[in-house]
Amino acid sequence: MNCRKLIGLVADYLDGTLMLRQQEAIKTHLVRCEDCRAYLDSYKTTIELCRSLRHESNTKIHIGMPMGFARAIDRKCMSKKQML
């Protein structure tokens, strides 16, 4: 597990849809990587924000975000909407 892989898997990790082996790899990485812990924290915060704003325009939450991150959040919002 490295930072790049973790970032790619973080949405599935939070959804609990990863294989146990991948979850363990992420947990192990998080213990020793402060950057990824911070990333996970901000990701969770953004998901909460996304949920609370889902009746409003999605574009509002994109302000100040890196493009890839905003796109990941978009996908996350979409999948949550479909599940709701």
Binds Zn ion by CB under 5 A, chosen from 18, 33, 47, 50? 33
For position 53 contacting Zn ion by CB under 5 A, the verdict is no
Distance in angstroms (rounded) separating the CA atoms of residues 76 and 20:
21
Give the orientation angle of helix 34-52 with respect to helix 20-32, to 10 degrees.
120
For position 3 contacting Zn ion by CB under 5 A, the verdict is yes
For position 18 contacting Zn ion by CB under 5 A, the verdict is no
Region binding Zn ion by CB under 5 A among candidate stretches 1-9, 11-19, 57-65, 76-84:
1-9
Whether 39 contacts 7, CB under 8 Å: yes
